[in-house]
Amino acid sequence: MPEITVLRGHAVTFTGDPFIDPGAFVDVPDALIVVTDGIITAFGAYDDVAGQLPEGVPVTDYRPALISAGFIDTHVHYVQTGIIGAYGDRLLEWLNNYSFVEEQRFSSAEYAARAAALFFDQLLANGTTTAVTFAAVYPQSAEAFFQESARRNTRMIGGKVMMDRNAPAPLLDTPESAYAQSKELLERWDGTGRNHYAITPRFAPTSSPAQLAMAGRLRQEHPTAFVHTHISETLTELALVKELFPDRTGYLDVYGHYGLIGERTVLAHGIHLTAPERDRIAQAGALIAHCPTSNLFLGSGLFDLHQAKDAARPLHVGLGTDIGAGTSFSLLATMNEAYKVAALRSHPLSALKSFYLATRGAAVGLGLADKIGSIAVGGEADLVVLDPAATPLLAYRTSRAQTTEEVLFALTVLGDDRAVAATYVAGALAHTRSP
Ligand code: GUN
Ligand code: ZN
């Protein structure tokens, strides 16, 4: 017997990119979503779809709550969950003082398993159903991540960090061990269940040229795999990369030289990219993970989203929480900060564009739009239910909203995990807000 789940609510989703096409927003105030064995098999206005329902199937009615595709966090470190809100400092000092201390704990498989379970609880409580995730350098830390994802049946992207210089000795691998361990994990997990492997050189300063060459070789041998790294987050980092790679024309060229830039490449931050670098990223089809809470917390700079999404040369952009330099697991809170960063760049960000970046925009950039990121027949039923009256203040504010867009914007400004009434993973209820 097929497993059937039917949800009723105010559905919001996209059929295209609202940065280019304002008509891409789909707003169905009274919608039915029918899920059969994890796949959406019917979606539309209640009156149009109700007649197709099999006899006696229960309908979970979330009205007036909104139902969206589950959120996609395009850059996060599960191994840094324990250091969110570590006080003070800029990127390189923060890495040395906090990240590189905490990440050493993930040599213990037990520690990693406990952290992974807590991390997935946090993702799902925040309506995040897919995350592009750094583990630590230890293969067992990536193994724990994938084991937890397999238990939850989530569509996740992750990988073991590669780093062979400029970090404490216990955190270093070598070009050869990084290649061998990554390959083993990749062959076990890429395409297993709903998981994808990401070849994960931390960033140029912590990988030797020999290690980046190994990363490139692995990518060539496994073209389905993702590449996940950081780029151009701070000016100090840029100067360091210039010093370490004097033969390359710039930061992006370091990765490009080793064959690491293409489709399914996720580049976190990209605040200080040059115009030619943006062109090259657009041409390659890579995705930038914009991480506003982290960029503000570390004082890294203000990403120019308007420029990135320039219709003459649009980049794929997603939103990232970048836990633990980021300050919230919530993509709603991340949209709030993205709005403010965009405002400081003189181009405020509409709620529709924010929601797109956190759902379909990320899915398109990751090459997964046929599976996730939208509410659409044939897609996987990863969904988040958002309560516009989650708090007294939200209820007060949204009660006077005239449009759906106004409700969505209020959710980004005032919402967080309290606004997530429920999260569905492949049609199965994976989180319900506590009463
Ligand atoms: N660059 C290299 N490693 C990191 C990290 O762990 N966090 C952030 N925000 N930037 C990085
Ligand atoms: Zn990061």
Do 232 and 249 share a domain, yes or no? yes
The DSSP output letter for 102 is H
Question: What is residue 87's DSSP assignment?
Answer: -
Q: Is residue 53 domain-shared with residue 103, that is, in the same domain?
A: no
At 59, give phi and psi (nearest 5°).
Answer: -115, 125
Rounded to 10 degrees, the C-alpha dihedral 137/373/18/284 comes to 40
Report pLDDT for 54: 85
- Return phi, psi of residue 359, to 5°: -130, -95
Residue 133: predicted pLDDT: 98
Q: Are residues 137 and 220 in the same domain?
A: yes
Instruction: Name the burial class of residue 65, with classes exposed (0-12), middle (13-18) and buried (19+) by CB atoms within 10 angstroms of its CB.
Output: buried
Per-residue pLDDT at 435:
77
Q: Clarify whether residues 188 and 294 are in a common domain.
A: yes
Q: Is residue 334 part of a domain?
A: no
Q: Is residue 143 part of a domain?
A: yes
Structure tokens at 243: 């010093």
Atom of ligand 1 nearest to the CA of 291: 9
Q: Which residues are within 8 A (CB) of 344 and not within 5 positions of it... i.e. 6 or more apart?
A: 302
- State the residue range of the domain holding 163: 71-329
Q: Which atom of ligand 1 is nearest to the CA of 298?
A: 9
Question: Could you identify the residue written with the tokens 């209640």?
Answer: 46
Where helices occur in 190-330 by DSSP H, the ranges are 209-221, 235-244, 251-257, 275-284, 292-297, 305-308
Q: Which amino acid is at 302?
A: L
Work out which ligand 1 atom sits closest to the CA atom of 206: 2
Task: Give the C-alpha distances (Å, rounded to integers) separating 333 from 276, 280, 294, 383, 414.
Answer: 31, 30, 12, 18, 8
Q: Which residues approach ligand 1 with their CB closer than 6 A? A: 77, 91, 95, 99, 202-203, 230, 233, 294, 322, 325
Q: Are residues 63 and 77 in the same domain?
A: no
Query: Quick check: 6 and 53 in contact, CB under 8 A?
Result: yes
Q: Do residues 250 and 212 make contact, with C-beta atoms less than 8 angstroms apart?
A: no
**Could you tell me if 76 and 50 lie in one domain?**
no
CA of 371 to the centre of ligand 1 (A): 29
CB 198 within 8 A of CB 263: no
Residue 172 and residue 192 in one domain = yes
Q: Whose CA is nearest to atom 7 of ligand 1?
A: 325
Question: Looking at the domain assignment, is residue 242 inside a domain?
Answer: yes
> What's the burial of 239, exposed, middle or buried (CB within 10 Å: 0-12/13-18/19+)?
exposed
CA-CA distance, 272 to 261, in Å (whole number)?
Answer: 17
Low-confidence ranges of the chain (pLDDT < 50): none
What was the pLDDT predicted at 89?
87
What is the CATH number for 41?
A: 2.30.40.10
347 domain residue, yes or no: no
**Vertex 269 angle, CA 267 and 275, to 5°:** 85
Domain finish residue from 329, 364, 384:
329
Shared domain check, 209 and 117: yes
- Which tokens is 190 given? 């890429």
Give the atom of ligand 1 at the shortest distance from the alpha carbon of 300. 9
**Residue 117 exposed, middle or buried by CB count within 10 Å (0-12, 13-18, 19+):** middle
Is 41 contained in some domain? yes
Residues 135 and 272 in one domain: yes
pLDDT score for 317: 98
In this structure, the answer to whether residues 130 and 60 fall within a common structural domain is: no
Among the three residues 329, 361, 382, which one is the final residue of a domain in this structure? 329
SS3 of 138-203? CHHHHHHHHHHHHHHCCCEEEECEECCCCCCHHHCCCHHHHHHHHHHHHHHHCCCCCEEEEEEECC
Same domain, residue pair 122 and 260: yes
Which pLDDT tens digit goes with each residue over 18-70?
999 989 999 999 999 999 999 999 999 999 999 989 888 999 999 999 999 99
Structure tokens, 73: 């966090």
- Ligand 1 test: best mutation among 203, 232, 290, most atoms within 8 Å of CB? 203
β-partners of residue 433 are none
Same domain, 9 and 149: no
Q: What is the pLDDT of residues 99-138, one digit of tens each?
A: 999 999 999 999 999 999 999 999 999 999 999 999 999 9
**Looking at residue 316, which CATH number applies to its domain?**
3.20.20.140
- Rounded Cα distance between 43 and 60, Å, is 14
The per-residue pLDDT for 158 is: 98
**Number of folded domains that form the chain:** 2
Ligand 2 centroid distance, CA of 115 (Å): 17
Checking ipTM against 0.90, whether it exceeds it is: yes
Specify if 306 maps to a domain. Answer: yes
Structure tokens, 211: 């290690």
Coil vs helix vs strand at 384: strand
Position 89 in a domain: yes
233, 235, 294, 298: which to mutate for ligand 1, most atoms within 8 A of CB? 233
Whether 260 is in a domain gets the answer yes
